[in-house]
Amino acid sequence: MNSATREDLEEILTLYHANQLEDRPQDVGNGIWKPTPLPILFGEAVVLDTLYAKERKEHKGQVLVAGAGDGRRAAFLNRLGYDVFAVELNPNIVQHGNYVLHLLIEKNLVDGRRVKIVPGDFLDDNLYHEHGTSFEDFEKIFAYLRKCNLDALVTKVERQSPKGVELFALRHVNWENPKTGLQHKGSAVISVPSHTNYSVDRYVKN
């Protein structure tokens, strides 16, 4: 990660910190919004960037953020170089996320043509079709979800995604891994002072 990218990610982090929702919106269905701590989010971006640097891969292609919350992960991934489609069940959080996204676009920290945050259920194929895409189009999927929702997402990947799709699951280190036929390609622990340790787990569909 070059210095310009790191500085932009830090500025995105600062802007989200300054525009955090004071009152957490009501939970919708089985979706519970627990924002990813911003230092953990930055650590996740560093893990991804370090991993791909070792493998000599570029940050490019279409990615899905499942359970996007206020779009903070979508913003980071877009700045790294991805075309991002982010889905969040709670429309009130989506509204706030698009407000923050507009601020980021104004500051040229994200490319508004290549990132979208929409309300809906990431398990619903009709949602993707309404926006001119499909679940099968995504090369990478990022998620920070309750186990029941992560299990449902994993099952959808197993059934529908083409071979080679990568799933990156952020979770507390004491959470149980999903039971899946996807190949587990490794994990990295993100340890930040004053925060619970998190793990980034990488899966690939063979």
**CA-wise closest residue to 120 among 131, 109, 112, 111:** 131
Per-residue confidence (pLDDT) for residue 11, from 0 to 100: 96
- What string of DSSP letters covers 25-50? PPPBTTB---PPPHHHHHHHHHHHHH
CATH of the domain at 92: 3.40.50.150
Q: What is the pLDDT of residue 194?
A: 82
Compute how many other C-beta atoms are within 10 angstroms of the C-beta atom of residue 188: 16
Tokens describing residue 146: 């309750």
Q: Return the pLDDT at 187.
A: 92
Q: pTM for this one?
A: 0.93
Among residues 170, 165, 6, which one has the least CA distance to residue 76? Answer: 6
Q: What local confidence, expressed as pLDDT, does residue 140 receive?
A: 98
**68-79 burial, b for 16+ CB within 10 Å, e for fewer?**
bbbbbbbbbbbb
188 by DSSP, 3-state: which?
Answer: strand
Please give the torsion angle defined by the CA atoms of residues 53, 73, 105 and 79, in that order, rounded to the nearest 10 degrees.
Answer: 0
Can you give the pLDDT at residue 108? 96
What's the chain's average pLDDT? 93
Total domains present in the chain: 1
> pLDDT at position 48, please?
94
Domain that residue 166 falls in: 3-204
Residues with Cβ within 8 Å of 107's Cβ and at least 6 positions away in sequence, in order, are: 11, 15
One digit per residue, pLDDT tens: the chain, 206 residues? 899 999 999 999 999 999 988 777 777 777 778 888 899 999 999 999 999 999 999 999 999 999 999 999 999 999 999 999 999 999 999 999 999 999 999 999 999 999 999 999 999 999 999 999 999 999 999 999 988 899 999 999 999 999 999 999 998 887 777 788 899 999 999 988 888 899 999 999 99
Q: Is residue 133 a contact partner of residue 85, using CB atoms and an 8 Å limit?
A: yes
